[in-house]
């Protein structure tokens, strides 16, 4: 699913960025150039990033 139409960035692109070390919206923005045109994608991108990071933290807590 496309999240950022201006840059052609999908939710999977965002998840891949997190898997490659991004930990925040700022990290993802810097890696993908996300949200740097009209900015309409920023709220949805922030939710995806928050959900994904929360899921990773939960998996790490269960594994610990
Ligand atoms: S939709 Fe992402 S910057 Fe416009």
Q: What is the mean pLDDT of each run of 10 residues along the chain (64 residues)?
A: 98 97 96 97 98 93 87
Q: What is the pLDDT of residue 64?
A: 82
Q: Which residues contact 21 (CB under 8 A, 6 or more apart)?
A: 27
Ligand 1 mutation target, pool 7, 9, 13, 48, most atoms within 8 A of CB:
7
Pick the closest to residue 37 from 63, 11, 64, 3 (CA basis).
3
Measure 13 CA to ligand 1 centroid, in angstroms.
14
Instruction: Report how far residue 51's alpha carbon sits from residue 6's, in angstroms, rounded to the nearest whole number.
Output: 23
Q: What is the pLDDT of residue 47?
A: 98
Q: pTM, whole model, 2 decimals? A: 0.91
**Is 56 in contact with 17 (CB distance < 8 Å)?**
no
Q: What is the pLDDT of residue 46?
A: 98
Pick the closest to residue 32 from 57, 64, 24 (CA basis).
24
């Amino acid at each position: 699913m496309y999240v950022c139409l201006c840059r052609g960035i999908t939710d999977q692109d965002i998840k891949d960025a997190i898997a490659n070390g991004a930990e925040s919206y700022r990290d993802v923005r810097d890696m993908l150039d996300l949200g740097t045109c009209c900015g309409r994608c920023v709220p949805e991108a922030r939710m995806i990033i928050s959900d994904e990071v929360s899921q990773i933290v939960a998996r790490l807590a269960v594994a610990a």
